Structures are given as structure tokens and as C-alpha cells.
A and B are shown apart, each in its own frame.
Chain A
């Protein structure tokens, strides 16, 4: 159980003008600007939930993760995770969580992966039996086979990320924080990683909190979305509700015989070239069947497909709506 209440955090950032003169001045007197990274942030995440934590760069995602993982102390507010206050009972707290920072490694660079795993076993004091069982499971699910005998520096990014995730699960954490786990991965690795995260969540009941810019991750993994912007939670809801709320737009792709399509009410022509057209409609104004009727009145339709807005576009319109 993760409970955050009214968490606020303000940073002081040193500012200085460009140029040598300003740099010299800054040596003696620094000017600071205050940045409100988080403002009265509150949310609750239950055991076994899988939550996508999204927001544009600089919205406060990493600050929240840092607070929840005990790295950072907030200015005010309370945060209780499984009965611990992360920054006060750091060691007790971090024993129960796993953290994957997508862009930083937790493995030792020059030695085979298995050596890192064994060191982590000793750091977290994992029982030999539990360690053996976890290692077998993880090796099988993530297809680590021979990889674990290879030094980390010789692994591909996808292989490394699989090892990173395995490393963060060796001690059976109750909560797993994933900070951009699929960044830079190819399609196959992405899918493997997603499948695995889903399996862990379902079978072990691990709570997963995922930050990402990859909307396919969100779509594939999470039921619940927390949207943060300018340090505040703007939206907390299920992905499907979000989609139906924001994606009333449909794109019609039409192949037709006859003259170029003329303008019709509530139909925007995006492209029209040699009997191939892309049209945009808003289902709040005109239904799909009405639109088709309007088109077939003008031309003979040979082929037609209807596509909805992608999650990506939904999120963009969300950002636009909240002006973040």
C-alpha cells in the first residue's frame, strides 16, 4: 500500500546569465530561482496494482519516484509505503522495493552478470533457497540462459535491460519501480520485457509503478494511469475511460472511383490524391455511418477503413488540454 498525502517539494536552482563576466559574478553571489517540483501531491496505490505514471519531461515524475524510493526528502507532506516512511526508515524500506532506472545500470560493468546477482543476494541477505528459486524462474522467464555468464559490458541493451530487471527482483520486492524500462530497446526486447512485467504482476502480486514516454508500454501494461503535470496530479483513472473521453476523432481511409471528393459538413479532408483519401471526423458531431453515407453520395467506395486515435495522440491532447 502506497499512500502519498500533500507531498510538496521546491528546488532552488542557481541561475546565471551567459558569458564570462556573469560566471565570475556567480562565483561570489549566486542567484537562485525557486522551482516548485511537486505541489500537494496525493494518491493511493493498492497492493498488486499496476500503475502507469506519465507526464511530460520536467513534470515531477522522477522527483516522485525518488521520494517513494527513499532517495529524496520532501519539504512537506506524508508518504507511507507498507508502513514505512521511505526517507526515515531507508534501509527497512528499500529492502522491500526494487528499482530499475532505465538509463543507469545496477550491474557491475566488468564481471559476468551472475557475479552481480550473487553480490546482490548478499547485500539483500536473500536465503540461498529463495535465491536459487528466483534465479531459476527469472532465467527461464527472461530467457537469460547463457547471458548471465557474460560480462555486462559485452551485452546488448536489450539483454542488459532483461538482466537489470532480473537483478531488481532477486530479493522478492513487494513494489517494483520501473523508470523508463523500455527506453532504447528494439521491438522484440520491448515485447519480452512487457510480457515479463505483466507476468510478475499477475503471478507474484508485485505492485508495479511504471514511468515511461512510450505509450505502447502504457497501453500494453497498465489499467490505471496517473497523469502529472507541473507538479500536480491532473488525472487519475483507467486507460479505457481516458481513451473514450478523449478519442472521439476517427480517421477514415477511403479508396474510391470517381472525381475528387468535395467538402462535406463535419468532414475534414486530410489528403486526397488519385482516388485515395484520408478524412478526419469527430464522432461527437457526425457518426461514422453518416460520414460514410456522405462520402458514398459523392463517389463509388472501393475500400474503407476506420482508425481511432492512438494513445499517443490521446496523451498529446491531454497535455494540450492542461496546457503542460
Chain B
């Protein structure tokens, strides 16, 4: 853990070497998310509710997903940029150091400019929390926290899966964006608005709905089933197959060696 902090401060120092670029990218990240927010805002200025969810309720959903995604993008950036790590030979360097591969990939890169996106998410959350009509008891607060943590787990798992696939193909990677960026974009609205099939897909294949739609039902009082608030924890279980696949890819990399 001490070593992780050392890596973190080193990478932060590196990025602050290019101060103007850092702040402009961060501002850019903020603006991009802000336009997404505007999209939701204008939609609601016409329709007032989507599938029975009010504007602040959707904002909670959106901001939770955005928080999770920006945190993941910042700290699990190494897996997102993994193809580059393979191509540059950096992975070989990682393998000749006496530390775990996962740890070293995590610490190979961090993208602190995602603070822009994170800030946008926090602002939205700050607006939605007092306006959504939820009585904020301890278990509701816990639900939001679990949604965010579970979201980080799901996105991290997706990044690890993406890295695992890049051991086998570089060309076919674009389709993975459907799951990572797709989850984020779809995640703006409660996943039920896209219909049964999409909801099923994001429940049983990629468990995004488990950290977003179902706990949201409990949060806004559409369901009284307390078990829903614990569903985000399944996000952590999703990590296991993704991690297994990554190990499998790494093993084949080490036997193919190029």
C-alpha cells in the first residue's frame, strides 16, 4: 500500500509537469460530461418523467454511474491502455520486476484529468440528493455508497476483461467499447427504459443493472425489498471471471512471447 502511494505521487508529479495540458484536459472532461447532462436536462424539460422516473431520480442514476466510471478511468487506466503496454514492450519490463502483474498494471498509468468528469458527477449528485424526495436514512445513504463502489467494481472488471482480450487481438477491441463506454452512456437513464432485452443483457451478461437499476428501485421507494440494496456487491463477483480471463491471456502471452 505504501508502494502504491509512492507510485501515485510519482505519476501525479509526472502529469503536473504539463500543467496547461492537465487543466485543459480536465476542463474538457468536465464539459463533455456537462453536455451529456444538458441532454438529459432538455429531455426532461419536455417530458417531465421517463418511465416514471423524475429528473432528480435520473440524475442520481447518472451521477452514480459517472462517479464510478471516472474513478475507474483514473485508477484502472493501466488496463484501459493495456494494448499500448503490450506493443511498447512495457509488459516485459513489468514481468522482470518482483511484484504482482495486476498491481504493476494498475500503477503503470493513472489519469488524474478525470477529476473533471468526477467533479461534474459530484455536482449532479449534490443537486439530486436534496431534490429527489428521498428521505435520507442510513440505509438509503448506504445504498448510494454501495452503488458507487459496485459500479467501480463492474467497470474495473470490464477494463480487466478488455485487457485480457487484447492479448489475442488488437483489431477486435473496438467492440469492447460497447460494454465499457456503452455501460456509461446507457447508464445515464435507469436501464429499464431501453426495454426488456437490454435490461436482461445488463443483468445477466454484464451486471451493470445490478449496481444501477435494481438498487435505484429501492432507493426511490418503488420497491421495499431491502435485498436490492445489496445487489451491487455482485459486481465484485463479476471481477473473478474477468480476472481469470486476464490470467489466461497472460499465460498465452508468455508462451507466445510476442
Q: Tell me the residues in window 50-79 of chain A with beta carbons closer than 8 Å to chain B beta carbons.
A: 63, 66, 69-73, 75
Closest to A104 in B: B89
Minimal beta-carbon separation of A314 from chain B (angstroms): 31
Q: Does B137 contact A (CB under 8 A)?
A: no
| Number of residues from A at the complex interface, CB < 8 A | 33
A63 in contact with B257 given A101-B93, A104-B88, A119-B6 (CB within 8 Å): yes
Say whether B98 contacts A95, CB under 8 Å.
yes
| Beta-carbon contacts under 8 Å, B124-142 to A | none
- Please name the residue on chain B nearest to A96 by beta carbon: B98
Complex Cα distance, B10 from A135, in Å, reads 20
Q: How far is the CB of B85 from chain A (nearest CB, A)?
A: 12
A119 to B3 Cα, complex, angstroms: 8
Q: Is A101 a contact partner of B92 (Cβ separation < 8 A)?
A: yes
B-chain residues with CB within 8 Å of residue A75 when the two chains form the complex: 255
Q: Is A111 an interface residue, CB under 8 A from the partner?
A: yes
Instruction: Collect the chain A residues with CB atoms within 8 Å of residue B13's CB.
Output: 110-111, 115
If the complex has contacts A71-B92, A71-B254, A108-B14, are A94 and B98 also in contact, measured as CB distance less than 8 A?
yes
> Which of B7, B10, B17, B95 has a CB less than 8 Å from the CB of A71?
B95
Output the nearest chain B residue to A90 by Cβ-Cβ distance.
Answer: B95
Prevailing SS type, chain A contact patch:
mixed
B257 near A66 (CB under 8 angstroms)?
Answer: yes
List of A residues within 8 angstroms of B15 by Cβ = 110
B257 proximity list for chain A (CB < 8 A) = 9, 11, 63, 66, 71-73
Known: A104-B88, A123-B98. A72 touches B17 (CB 8 A): no
Interface pair A151/B89, CB less than 8 Å apart: no
A interface footprint on B1-40 (CB within 8 Å = 1, 0 otherwise)? 0110011001001110110000000000000000000000
Q: Are A106 and B93 in contact (CB under 8 A)?
A: yes
Inter-subunit contact B96/A110 (CB<8 Å): no
Which residues of chain B have C-beta atoms less than 8 A from A108's C-beta? 10, 14
CA A113 to CA B146, docked complex, whole Å: 41
Contacts of B7 in A (CB 8 A): 119
Measured CA separation A101–B97 after assembly (Å): 13
**Interface: B256 (CB within 8 A):** yes
The CA-CA distance from A11 to B256 in the complex, in Å, is 6
Which of B3, B88, B255 is within 8 Å of A73, CB to CB? B255
A109 within 8 A of B: yes
Cβ–Cβ < 8 Å partners of B46 in chain A: none
Q: Bound complex: CA of A69 vs CA of B93, how far in Å?
A: 10
Residue of B7, B99, B255, B257 ringed by the most chain A CB atoms within 10 A: B257
Q: Is the pair A110, B89 in contact by a Cβ cutoff of 8 Å?
A: no
Q: Please give, as numbers and ranges, the residues of chain B lying within 8 Å of A202 by CB-CB distance.
A: none
A123 to B88, CA, bound (A): 21
Q: Which residues of A contact B10 (CB under 8 A)?
A: 108, 111, 115, 119
* B98 and A91 contacting across the interface, CB-CB below 8 Å: yes
For B39-74 the 0/1 string (1 means CB < 8 A from A) is 000000000000000000000000000000000000
**B96 touching A123 by the CB < 8 A rule?**
no
Q: Does A12 contact B (CB under 8 A)?
A: yes
Tell me whether B258 is interfacial, beta carbon within 8 Å: yes
Query: What is the bound-complex CA distance between A106 and B95, given in angstroms?
Result: 12
Residues of the A chain whose Cβ atoms lie less than 8 Å from the Cβ of B96: 69-71, 94, 97, 99
Q: Which residue of A lies closest to B257 (CB)?
A: A72
Residue of B nearest to A168 (CB): B96
Partner of A111, one of B2, B14, B88, B89: B14
Closest Cβ neighbor of B17 among chain A residues: A110
27 contacts across the A-B interface (CB closer than 8 A): A63-B257, A66-B257, A69-B95, A70-B95, A71-B95, A71-B96, A72-B255, A73-B251, A73-B254, A73-B255, A90-B98, A91-B100, A94-B97, A95-B98, A97-B96, A101-B89, A104-B88, A104-B89, A104-B92, A108-B10, A110-B13, A110-B15, A110-B18, A115-B13, A118-B6, A119-B6, A123-B97
A-B pairs, top 6 by smallest CB distance, nearest first, are A110-B14, A72-B257, A95-B98, A91-B98, A71-B95, A73-B255
Q: Which residues of B contact A (CB under 8 A)?
A: 2-3, 6-7, 10, 13-15, 17-18, 88-90, 92-93, 95-100, 251, 254-258
- Additional A-B contacts beyond A71-B96, A72-B255, A91-B99 (14; CB < 8 A): A66-B92, A71-B257, A72-B254, A94-B96, A97-B96, A101-B92, A111-B13, A111-B14, A118-B6, A119-B6, A119-B7, A122-B3, A123-B97, A123-B99
